[in-house]
Structure formats: C-alpha cells, structure tokens
Amino acid sequence: MIKFFRKIRHRLLAENKFSKYLLYAIGEIILVVIGILIALQINDWNEKRKIGNVEKEILNVLLEDLNAAKEYSEAYITSEQSYLDVIETVLHTDSIKTILSNTDRTREYFNKAFWDFEIKFPVINTYSDLKNAGKITLVQNDSIRERLSVLEANIYNLDKLIQDRMNVHQIRIDEICVEYVNFLPLLKYKMPDYNISLGPENDYIAIMAQPKVRNLMGIKSVLTNEALGYRKNLHNEIEAIIKLIRTELNEGKN
C-alpha cells in the first residue's frame, strides 16, 4: 500500500502536476490522521472493554458477597428480635408467671435476658478489599458506589452501637448477676452436664421487682431495640445494592 502511494507521488512530480501533488499530499495526510484516530479509537475501545470485563468480575464477586451478607443479616435480625422479645417478656410480671410453669423455659428466658445479646454483623469483604486497594473506582456506576458508601456507614454505626451496648452490659447489667441472681441454675441450663450444686432457685418475680434490675433491663431493652433498627436499615441497604448490581449486570448483557 505504501509503495502504491509512493508511485502516485513520483508520477505526479514527474509530470509537473504540483497542484495535484499538493492536493494528493494533503489527502494522504488526512488519511494518515484518520488511520491514527481509528487506531486510537480501537485501542480506547479495547481498554474500555477490558475495564468493563474487570468491573463485571468485581460486581459478580460483590454480588455473591452481598447475597451471603443478606442471609447473615436476616439471621442476626431474627436473633436480635428474639432477645428483645425475651427482655420485654421478663419485664412484665404476668409474662414471668406464665413461663415459671416450665423450669427449663424459665432458665432459658432469664439466661438470655441477663447475659445474651447479638454481637455479630454482616461483613462485606469484597468492598473492604477494593477500598483498601484503592480500586473502588473500577466500579463505574456512581449509584452503586454511593450506596456502598452508605452501606459502609451503616455497618460502622451498627458496630459502634454494638460496642457501646457491650460496654454498658459489662459495666452495669452484669451487676445484676452479682447482686440479685443465683447464677448457678442458669449456668446449669447452658451446661447441663456440669456437675454442680445449684443452690436455691431464683425468685424471678422478686428479682424483676427491684428498681435497679428493672432500670438496667430497661436500658438493655432500649439498646436492643436500637440495634434492631440499625440492623433493619443495614439489611434494606444490602437489598438495595443487590438490586442495583443485578440491574447493572443485566444491562451489560444487552
């Protein structure tokens, strides 16, 4: 092809057709420029295609991670709701009288009420890895990136609340066990094969009538209810991002 154009130039110069040569030279330059632009466009398209493929892989892994987080989130919400129901039950004398008819059920309820609470929360490892590696911009969809930032904030807020609740529990609520409760029957419920002398059964109606006990359990109820709200907000955010990513992946197939 180059030899072909060179022959044309030589022929035009030999025939002293300078004006035609000039026009031809300009046309040749334009063709070269067009060729360069096409090459750049193809290269740009290839780069975008590579980036798009990387983004697709990231979104698929992120989607898998979020689906797992959603399942964990559902379990943690159920667990948190269960603890809240138990606390509210032991704060009412009539409810206590109902469960007192069954020793195992009584121990189960008060064991949960006095000591248990949910401390786990979903972890989105893929997002954390992307952010730590400075590669979050590989997710080009602005809406997905924004919602991931909101998700991160929700996880942080939930984690902080869980830590605060744990501190309150360890500093204040555990005092109930020391001052008012015979711990051994509840320990026996947790460890049925543990060979110990249980001592007297707890008078749970009398225990829950103590102002200090009621106040501290009320605080635990408030913190648990707040944690439940945070968990539900986090769960909704996870579902929203899953929907966005699925839409993005489906549009990429078209």
37 within domain boundaries: no
Report the distance separating Cα 224 and Cα 220, nearest Å.
6
Query: Domain residues for 83?
Result: 64-253
Is 34 within the bounds of a domain?
Answer: no
Q: Tell whether 209 is covered by a domain.
A: yes
Neighbours of 144 (CB within 10 A): 20
Overall number of domains in the chain: 1
Local structure of 254: helix, strand or coil: coil
Q: Which is nearest to 196 in space by CA: 177, 179, 215, 182?
A: 182
- Give residues with Cβ within 8 angstroms of 24, minimum separation 6: 8, 9, 12
As given in the structure block, the two tokens for residue 219 are 């605080």
Structure tokens given for 91: 């704060």
**Angstrom distance (rounded) from CA 213 to CA 100:** 18
Q: Is residue 17, in this structure, part of any structural domain at all? A: no
Chunked into runs of 10 residues, the chain (254 residues) has average pLDDT values of 50 52 57 70 65 82 94 96 94 92 89 90 88 84 91 93 90 83 83 82 92 92 95 95 92 67
The two structure tokens encoding residue 111: 């064991």
Helices marked H in 91-102: 93-99
Provide the token pair at 13: 């110069």
| pTM (2 d.p.) | 0.77
Residue 195's pLDDT is: 80
Residue 16 lies in a domain: no
The pLDDT of residue 2:
45
**For residue 8, is it within any domain?**
no
Q: Which residues have a Cβ under 8 Å from the Cβ of 212 and sit 6 or more positions away?
A: 175, 176, 179, 180
Q: Is residue 5 part of a domain?
A: no
What is the 3-state secondary structure of 65-89?
HHHHHHHHHHHHHHHHHHHHHHHHH
Res 5: pLDDT: 47
CB atoms within 10 A of CB 169: 19
The answer to whether residue 154 is domain-embedded is: yes
